[in-house]
Every structure is written in C-alpha cells, then in structure tokens.
A = this chain, B = another copy of it.
Amino acid sequence: MKKISTMVIRRLPRYFRYLTDLKDAGVERISSTELAEKMNVTASQIRQDFNCFGGFGQQGYGYNVQQLHKAIADIMGLSQNYKLVIIGAGNLGHALANYAGFSRRGFHVVGMFDVQPDIVGTTTGGITIGHIDDLEAFCKREKPEIAVLTVPKEVALEVAERLPALGIKGVWNFSYMELRMPKGIYVENVHLSASLMTLSQHITADKKEEIK
C-alpha cells in the first residue's frame, strides 16, 4: 500500500462518517458521483482518495460500501480498542469522560486524574478520579495508549514531561500549550480558543465587507 498523505488522512474521518451512515441505512454500493454529491466534494477527489488505499470501486458499479468502510476503519486504527487516561478532571475532562460516542468507536476511558482534594475520589462516567501522584502506578498496570490532557496551561508542560515514561503512544492535547514529544508519541491538538477566534475573524471580515 502506498503511503497515504496527511491531507487524505485528514479527510478519512469524514468519509468514515458518511460510509457509516450508508452502511447503517443498508446501502450496499455507491458511485463516486453520488457520494460526491452527498459530501459536497468532487467525484474526482473521491476517486483519487480512495485509490490511495486500494480502490474497491468497479467502473460502472460504484464502491462496495462495506469493504470501503472496513478499509477506512483499518487505516484509521478503528478495528482495535484503545485505553484513554484523562489528566485534568475539570468540566472538559468530565465532558469527555461522559461522551458515549468515543467508546462506540473503541476508545475507552479507563482512568481520570486530578490534584484537587474535592475532586479526587469522586466518580464520573463510571470512573473514580484518582490523585495524579498515582498516575505512574496506574499506567504500569492498565497500559493506556492515549493520554487526554485537559489540565490548565500552567501545569501542562510539567504533566507532559511525565508522559513518555508511562508508555503513552498518543496525546490528545486540549491545553493551550504546545508540546514537544519524543519520536513515537503523536500529539493531536485541540485548540478551542483558536477555533473560536477563526469564527470571530470571519464575522469581522464580513462586517468590513458590508461597510465597504
């Protein structure tokens, strides 16, 4: 299989979502033209992208939805389960721990840690929140692959430094801090403030257009 470009990788979750809906609706085959229309992209982009991971399309017959769905799930690593440990049990940590959609996809929150005495020991989403001092022992035992970082900016670097020794393979970083991890540990950033600012930028740009 060819190496799949980052741009295609970024588009996979969206393909996966549409194909899941089609599969759930009992659709067996779909043409690139039909799918393109649904997804509001060009049919040629779809054909090009799907070619990257083996095709599954037959001229005039369209794509086999089930096969394509499985191929994308495999590439996305969704054919296996992952253990997540949430570090930082504030509102966002709670929201993520209670989101059922993740476990449906094979992402299971196995632990949650904080330092606040009034939070440690409480239970959310079936998880009892532990003290961060116990993080090392917990990871040795449970071997989570993914650390979810929902701590305040001020302590993010300090917490992040402890992650490589824990056997973590990926960091889902919600802190405002940029993290540099050793090779082999992938960081996926969710910068909510940056996303919100993109919105204000567009609103302001539109307003300026109006004034002109």
Binding site for B on A (CB under 8 A): 9-10, 12-14, 16-17, 40, 75-78, 80, 82, 90-92, 94-96, 98-99, 101-102, 105-107, 145-146, 169-170, 172, 176, 180, 184, 186, 188, 190-206
A165 to B131, CA, bound (A): 48
Q: B190 to A145, Cβ gap below 8 A?
A: no
Q: B188 to A190, Cβ gap below 8 A?
A: no
Q: B75 to A201, Cβ gap below 8 A?
A: yes
Contact residues in B for A194 (Cβ distance below 8 Å): 13-14, 17
Contact residues in B for A12 (Cβ distance below 8 Å): 197, 201
Q: A203 to B77, Cβ gap below 8 A?
A: yes
Q: B91 to A193, Cβ gap below 8 A?
A: no
Number of copies of this kind of chain in the complex: 2
7 contacts between A and B (CB under 8 A): A75-B201, A76-B204, A91-B94, A91-B98, A105-B193, A170-B200, A186-B206
Q: A190 to B192, Cβ gap below 8 A?
A: yes
- Residue of A9, A75, A90, A203 with most chain B CB atoms under a 10 A cut-off: A203
